[in-house]
Amino acid sequence: MDSTMKSVYDSVIARDPNQPEFHQAVEEVLDSLVPVIQAHPEYLQVVRAIVEAERIIQFRVPWYDDNGDFHVNRGFRIQFNSAIGPYKGGLRFHPSVNQSILKFLAFEQVFKNSLTGLPMGGGKGGSDFDPKGKSDGEVMRFCQSFMMELWRHIGADLDVPAGDIGVGGREIGYLFGMYKKLANEFTGVLTGKGRSYGGSLIRPQATGYGLVYFAREMLATKDKSFEGATVAISGSGNVAQFACEKVIDLGGKPVTLSDSSGFIHDPAGIDREKLAWIMDLKNNRRGRIKEFADHFDGVEYTASKPEPNLNGLWGVNVDIALPCATQNEINGEEAQMLVDNEVTAVAEGANMPCTPEAVECFQANGVLFAPGKASNAGGVATSGLEMSQNSLRMSWTREEVDQKLEAIMVNIHKNAFETAEKYGMPGNYVAGANIAGFLKVAEAMQAQGMV
């Protein structure tokens, strides 16, 4: 990072000194933008503005549990940038949620949404509420209380939240029901809705499918493919499940999945029958991944250990790695484990699952690396398609949505790849995605008077 960008970064830290996740996201983007500012110094003023959120909303969320006990959680909505469209980004319900994490996610969302080519700004929100172990009634009461404050800050042409960690179809349903009651209107104000009330086909699959579509395009630049490749996938939620499904579709062999308790390694490969069993375990029975190892022969299970132990999942010998769990799940040492096993490609399914040291390790060793703002943009892209369908008051077929999703991911890859080459960093998808996403937003901000 040069001195000009360093001064911008230092001002970010000075203003918000206790937000490490946000600092990490900003540092990565600013580092990528150095050649852009050297070629277009007029964009420096945009950089100074783009690192500051347009609006940050924080509120309390009071609710009663099934025993009648009273609880108070914090709710947030970060409306980061609306230069190219309404704020768009998920809601996360997890105990780790704080302003730093949501600002990092919202900041990333600005560039990710720009890359899709759809008219969507960037935002993110959520709460430190933990839906795990809560009854449907408790989740419903929390969601209704959360929406009683949030509803006044969102709208179909203002801010369109979606789901994220801890916010699935159940939560979106409760949130939408309360919004409809409070606003007295039926609009596409939330995405990830059920099919019976305005949801889109392929939306649950979109992030995982899109991840694999992007990785396929990236592999093709080196005349490689998923056919016959072994694949390590972390996580076992929505993204991991459908990434696993699409890897199988393309002839690959997924061999790992994980959750917070540990990971499984199935040397024989996770086939469609096993994946269906995992989907039932996770989506219906809400069980732990260890049960998969107990049920199927030849599967190894390794329990998670307290930090700073290395995650053995990344020591499994594979051709391709798809981290789909959470931020900073691969550090520099774990990245070196993958490199030592001669991994070909790493594509992020989660938001920022690789630390800066891990990214540096992959790039220094010639590993194809796809940053989440490019490779996991399929989810928000299909949310954008859901917004279009809601505005049109119509529904597209599964095939139509999947074709549009695939086309968007192919175009994101092309844009990131060509932009990296244009600015003298061939094969650097981090720089290519950051620069391509930035340029569109910067042009719009300047045209609108930097408001």
DSSP string for residues in 348-368: -SSSS-B-HHHHHHHHHTT-E
Which domain-ending residue is among 366, 395, 423?
366
Mean pLDDT, range 45-53, rounded to an integer: 97
Res 257: pLDDT: 98
150/210 same-domain check: no
25/125 same-domain check: yes
Residue 142 structural domain: 3-185
CATH code for the domain of 141: 3.40.50.10860
The token duo for 11 is 């001002």
Q: Across all residues in the chain, what is the average pLDDT?
A: 96
Res 14: pLDDT: 97
The token duo for 305 is 């250990």
pLDDT, tens digit, 9 for 90 and up, residues 57-80: 999 999 999 999 999 999 999 999
Query: Binning pLDDT at 50, 70 and 90, where does residue 306 land?
Result: confident
179/270 same-domain check: no
Active site residue 124: yes
| pLDDT surpasses 80 at 308 | no
CATH code for the domain of 220: 3.40.50.720
Domain-embedded: residue 56: yes
Percent of the chain with pLDDT over 70: 100
Res 286: pLDDT: 85
153/278 same-domain check: no
Mean pLDDT, range 216-226, rounded to an integer: 97
Res 152: pLDDT: 97
Domain-embedded: residue 71: yes
Domain-embedded: residue 348: yes
Domain-embedded: residue 443: no
359/256 same-domain check: yes
Query: Binning pLDDT at 50, 70 and 90, where does residue 52 land?
Result: very high
Domain-embedded: residue 410: no
133/75 same-domain check: yes
Domain-embedded: residue 246: yes
Res 432: pLDDT: 97
Res 326: pLDDT: 87
Mean pLDDT, range 432-439, rounded to an integer: 96
Which domain-ending residue is among 337, 366, 395?
366
108/236 same-domain check: no
Res 319: pLDDT: 98
Res 85: pLDDT: 97
Res 23: pLDDT: 96
| pLDDT surpasses 80 at 307 | no
The residue among 78, 140, 112, 188 whose CA lies nearest residue 438 is: 112
Measured CA distances, 292 to 253, 258, 272, 304, 403 (Å): 17, 10, 14, 16, 33
181/310 same-domain check: no
Domain-embedded: residue 411: no
- How many structural domains are present in the chain? 2
Query: How many Å separate Cα 443 from the centre of its chain?
Result: 25
Work out the burial of residue 170: count CB atoms within 10 Å of its CB; fewer than 13 is exposed, 13-18 middle, 19 or more buried.
Answer: middle
| pLDDT surpasses 80 at 451 | no
Reduce the DSSP state of residue 43 to 3 states and report it: helix
* Cα–Cα distance for residue pair 353/387, rounded to 1 Å: 28
244/181 same-domain check: no
The answer to whether residues 234 and 261 touch, using CB atoms and an 8 Å cutoff, is: no
248/318 same-domain check: yes
Domain-embedded: residue 324: yes
Res 310: pLDDT: 85
140/241 same-domain check: no
The residue among 161, 203, 264 whose CA lies nearest residue 401 is: 203
The answer to whether residues 108 and 81 touch, using CB atoms and an 8 Å cutoff, is: no
Which domain-ending residue is among 185, 219, 242?
185
| pLDDT surpasses 90 at 305 | no
pLDDT, tens digit, 9 for 90 and up, residues 336-364: 999 999 999 999 999 889 999 999 999 99
Given 124, 193, 274, 282, the catalytic residue: 124
Res 351: pLDDT: 86
175/216 same-domain check: no
Measured CA distances, 300 to 40, 145, 277, 296, 304 (Å): 53, 43, 17, 10, 13
